Amino acid sequence: MSGAAFVFCFQILTLAGSALTALKLYRDGLYRRYRMFFLLFLFNIPEAAWTLLIDVHTQLYEKIWMVTEPILWVLYVVVVFELYRLVLANHKGLYSLGRWIMYGAIAVAVLISILSLLPHFKPTTPQHSRMLGYFFATKRGVDSSLVIFILLILLFLSRYPVRLSRNVLVHTALYSFYFLSETVSTLLVSVFGLKVYTNVDLVRSGISSLCCFAWFFLLTRKGEEVETNVPLFGAEYERRALMQLEALNATLLRVSGR
């Protein structure tokens, strides 16, 4: 079986996994807690369907892609914010600070990405090429800022023994893996060109379908009731880490006037 055939199979699996996960989130009532994540999966269903039905080499494909891709950027941003809110549900001071930092980081990253592109444009550069350049620059800016933010969430969880539901920990790990794979795939294609596109798309599609079914099987109604945390370095370390976290959160709440 060729690489393109494998990609096609993975796309079908992603479509099926997205539909099953959305249905399960709704059936188990988990969509109320993971609203943005549920919305992302609802969007992924038609998104996966139209890529199967329309030839990638046509202008229609490009036009639909340029409409749907910015919607995905917005959904990725709000899902990361939702993830961040779930992790810091009991630490409002840290959440408020991080939220504003994230807003600023996205704006700065997009601006830098666009400014770095301007010297490469010449007066003879076609308008279509300019538009695509700005489009991909914006995507790089959004992706890079979200990657940094996701890595900070993972660093936070590895350092502080925050008690979370098993669903939140599973969701954090899977979404981090999913989004990082999407970003790395885009980076590899932008650096090495279309010669690596087939192999990169094969791996990306495989990871996407794997994550969809992992969410389907691992996010459960019972998983909301079971609390756990990332294993650290013993009871004494966890006690000191929690004291530091609570002190920092209390300071930020006082500064913000809450």
Cβ-Cβ contacts under 8 Å for 241 (sequence gap 6 or more)? 159, 160, 161, 232
- Ramachandran region, residue 132 (left: φ > 0; alpha: ψ -120 to 50; beta: rest): alpha
Please provide the size of the chain in residues: 258
How would residue 178 be classed by pLDDT, with cut points 50, 70 and 90?
A: very high
Q: Between these two residues, 53 and 3, which has the higher pLDDT value?
A: 53
Q: Which residues pair with 228 in a beta bridge?
A: 164
3-state secondary structure of 203: helix
The enclosing domain of 88 has a CATH number of 1.20.1070
pLDDT attached to residue 64? 92
pTM, two decimal places: 0.87
Cβ-Cβ contacts under 8 Å for 126 (sequence gap 6 or more)? none
pLDDT attached to residue 116? 74
Give one DSSP letter per residue of 135-188, joined into a string. HHHHHHHHHHHHHHHHHHHHHHHHHS---EEHHHHHHHHHHHHHHHHHHHHHHH
Q: Count the Cβ atoms, other than its own, within 10 Å of residue 241.
A: 16
Domain that holds residue 54: 3-256
- Percentage of the chain surpassing pLDDT 70? 94
pLDDT tens digits along 219-256: 999 999 887 776 666 777 777 877 887 887 788 777 76
Q: How far apart are CA 14 and CA 206, in angstroms?
A: 8
pLDDT attached to residue 143? 84
Count how many domains the chain has: 1
Classify residue 221 by its DSSP letter: S
Least confident range from 28-37, 72-81, 178-187, 248-257: namely 248-257
Helical (H) or strand (E) element with 208:
helix 197-218
